[in-house]
Chain A
Amino acid sequence: MLRFFCLVALFCFSGLAAAAIDTYEFSDDATRERFQSLAAELRCPKCQNQNIADSNSPIAKDLRVELHRMLEDGADDDQIVDFMVTRYGEFVLYRPRVSNQTYLLWYGPAALLLIGVVVVLVVSGKRKKVEPGKPKSGLSDTEKQRLDQLLKQEEDK
């Protein structure tokens, strides 16, 4: 068990160690924090399962340089995101903006869940209706009469 945890820890920290290392000068700590959060939010176009902060690919480095330049030039977050999206598409955002192209992505899972809940409610509702009161035999009146007759005949024998 201990060995397992060591292995997990190793994987976690090896990720950190492999993260790209550049040196950027920031005018203040707030800008540094914005740089870090934006770099974590922007997806690398080349190596798609990494953000541009973690990726070592040349394009990720270029985008970090560009991000740093824009932050130091006083661009706000929306301007930076727009800059990236006009060049690389919604794709570069790990959290794409809500638009008619991303409705399915944003609301699809919730809609499926809703459908599931409705189905469960409807099905369980139907079951409940049957339970209270007398158990229904499922026989019509004439069938019941016939059954009674048959049972009587059996008793008479």
Chain B
Amino acid sequence: MRRLIAILPLVLFVGLGLFLWNGIGKDSTTIPSPLIDKPMPDFRLTALLDEQRILTAADLKGRPALLNVWATWCPTCKQEHAQLNRIARDEGVTIYGVNYKDDRAKAQVWLDKYLNPYALNIFDPEGKLGLNLGVYGAPETFILDAQGVIRYKHVGAVDQRVWSQLRERMKQLEGN
């Protein structure tokens, strides 16, 4: 008993140390999304390339896909665009786009210029869909499963390293 009490401070110290150690180096700028495992929020917005076409959450169902929030005013989006093109073209992954708080004409010119990796593009000029998705800075990329449920969120550019993580997660979805 006495010995137990004697090592108690050590145990407490080690416990506290591990707890604090765990927090070191964590990226505090990425906040966990409360939307994981929730269905895509409802929306009714026009397609970027076709003003007459109305898109809803039902249009995003059918197969696992990436949902990429982007804008022409966002420099990081430009950086990741080539990677998105490659993923869509070489790996046959479905990528949906949310054109976030942007100008329709500018966005169309951008897609002409840098190629269009998106199967569909939702035009969200007021950022209402972005707000419901908890977007706080473009680019953000979500993984949707075949039922249109949000499974994962990545904040920041999709580069090769990030893509290999996302691909792993998408494979798991297809396996289920």
Residues of A within 8 A of B (CB): 45-46, 48, 58-59, 62-63, 66, 85-91, 112, 115, 119
Contact = CB atoms under 8 A, between A and B. Distances in A.
B34 A86 contact: yes
Interface of A is mostly: helix
Given A62-B127, A66-B131, A88 B137 contact: no
B165 interface: no
B31 interface: yes
Nearest to A115: B12
Interface in B121-153: 127, 131-137
A45 B136 contact: yes
B132 A88 contact: no
7 contacts: A45-B136, A86-B34, A86-B35, A88-B31, A88-B134, A89-B32, A119-B9
Interface in B5-42: 9, 12, 16, 28-29, 31-35
Interface residues of B, number: 19
Contacts of A112: 16
Contact of B101 (A58, A66, A89, A115): A58
A107 B140 CA distance: 34
Contacts of B127: 62
Contacts of B132: 87
Given A86-B35, A89-B34, 9 more contacts: A48-B29, A58-B101, A62-B127, A66-B131, A88-B31, A88-B136, A89-B33, A112-B16, A119-B9
